[in-house]
Amino acid sequence: MKNACLLPLSLLTGLLLTGCGANPSSSAPASTPGTSGPLPQASECRPAGALSFSAVAVTGEAAPPGNWATPHVPGEVLVLTGRRLSAQATSALGGVSTLAVADGLLLARTPVGEADAAFARRLTQAGLQTQPNYRYFSLAPSDPGFPGNRGVRVGDRAYHQTYLTRIGAAQAWQTLDAAGRSRNGVLTAVLDTGADRQHPELAGRLLTGCTFDNRGGFTVGAPEVSASSSQGRGHGTGSAGLIGANTDNQEGLSGVLWRGNLLPVKVLGDDGASTVSLVGGLNYAAAQGARVINMSLGAPGKLSDPVLDRAITQAAQRAVLVAAAGNTSGDGIYFPASHPAVIAVGALGREDHLACYSARPGAASGSRQLDIVAPGGNAGTRDGVSTSGPGCLVSGPDDLLTLSATDQGSYVLRAGTSEAAPLVSGVASLMWGANPDLSAAEVRARLLASTRQVGTLKMLDAKAAVEAALK
């Protein structure tokens, strides 16, 4: 049996994007004509007596309340004084810089050379009630590409990751926060063209990884394919970025996973992938403990590849396997997405129906259905263009904003089931991170049972998937 040549399933490397610069000035805007009403007086900002904090008596050697390991404003301690200070409390606060925040509530500056917790303990021993000045954050990440932020610009237009809104990523993160769970997911492997380790959006995220070639060779490391490669330099970097670009770092994009490690496994070389390279990559990813394995690659046709079939079956016992379904509408679902142990991912266009290029049931894959769909970019999908014929595969502004190699501009618009699959992999990783006690089969089952029905399709719903994992 010959090795089947498998190709990356990204249609377009369209418009190269350049990341925006620093945040705009946060200074107050100048007044504009038409503004009504007088400006508030300073006293209105902190009215007397609106809130009153009573003190609770504290005696003995009790530790200061509050979790001082939780993010808080350094160099400050909140002190509930009540209406009166005892002589001991007055003495403890002697020489300390304080600010009255509200009636009975002081913000005390920690003396130089003293730790916040130690200062709080000293005040507690003087009979005062203390706590940290905890920090709170916007639930939306600061990355320019996240919807509602300034965008990542190309020419005179800013692009946003509208696909994160469509899958409910922010709501999934909020659900994790409410449950006290991490937004970082579990170790996720990306079997692809490698990844650009120099990309700032992947800094600190990528493990070393390995490269597997079509003749059984392997090397340590997983660099991107060459610029002349037919596999598309930056394809793997884009897949990795959709799953786990550094998030809330005020740069570029948000990933589905905020932090944590990604395992790049290069199985697509300049001459594509093969049975041998994929088996090597799957074996390596499973041995490294990857719990989710993304494969944005495939080959059309009814393949009989018992070696790869067996490797997939074994890997699926310990990991959730996700694959792009394919980028032609008339060839059925590509392999390995058509394998029953793999989650086959189709692509939605701008609207909630299949993109014109997305693989769909039929042809060589027979009755094999798409397991799930996710945004993959529009690429010419419109009324009257529902299959990969004339008018389809045209790059446009409604394709997915993702990463590219740094020597290609760092950001790019792409479209394909290659882009839809990593979104599913990222959500599966969030689910397993939320509930590490689940098995691979349970994560898969709960993910597919939590989809949102759009017509006859089952669309990825990140919030519902995370909620299902937590049950």
What are the residue numbers of the active site? 192, 235, 418
SS3 364: helix
Q: What do you get for the CA distance between the two ends of the chain, in Å?
A: 45
Choose among 435, 205, 149: nearest CA to 320: 435
DSSP state of 167: H
The pair of structure tokens assigned to 79 is 């002190």
Q: How many angstroms separate the CA atoms of 468 and 464, rounded?
A: 6
What is the DSSP code string of 391-444?
T-S---TTSEEEE--GGGTSEEEE-SHHHHHHHHHHHHHHHHHH-TTS-HHHHH
Query: Which residue matches tokens 């200074």?
Result: 27
C-alpha 84/C-alpha 151 separation (Å) is 52
Please report which helix (H) or strand (E) contains residue 123, including its range. Answer: helix 116-125
CA atoms within 13 A on the CB side of 69: 0
Look up tokens 């006293």; give the residue.
Answer: 43
Strands 218-220 and 210-212 come out as: antiparallel
Residues 264/195, Cβ–Cβ less than 8 Å: yes
Residue 264: beta bridge partners? 190
Q: What Cα–Cα distance (Å) separates residue 74 from each residue in 71, 98, 135, 213, 324?
A: 9, 15, 10, 51, 47
List the one residue out of 410, 419, 379, 409 whose CA is nearest residue 397.
379
DSSP 363: G
Cα distance between residue 230 and residue 150, in whole Å: 34
**Please, are residues 416 and 12 in contact by the beta-carbon 8 Å criterion?**
yes
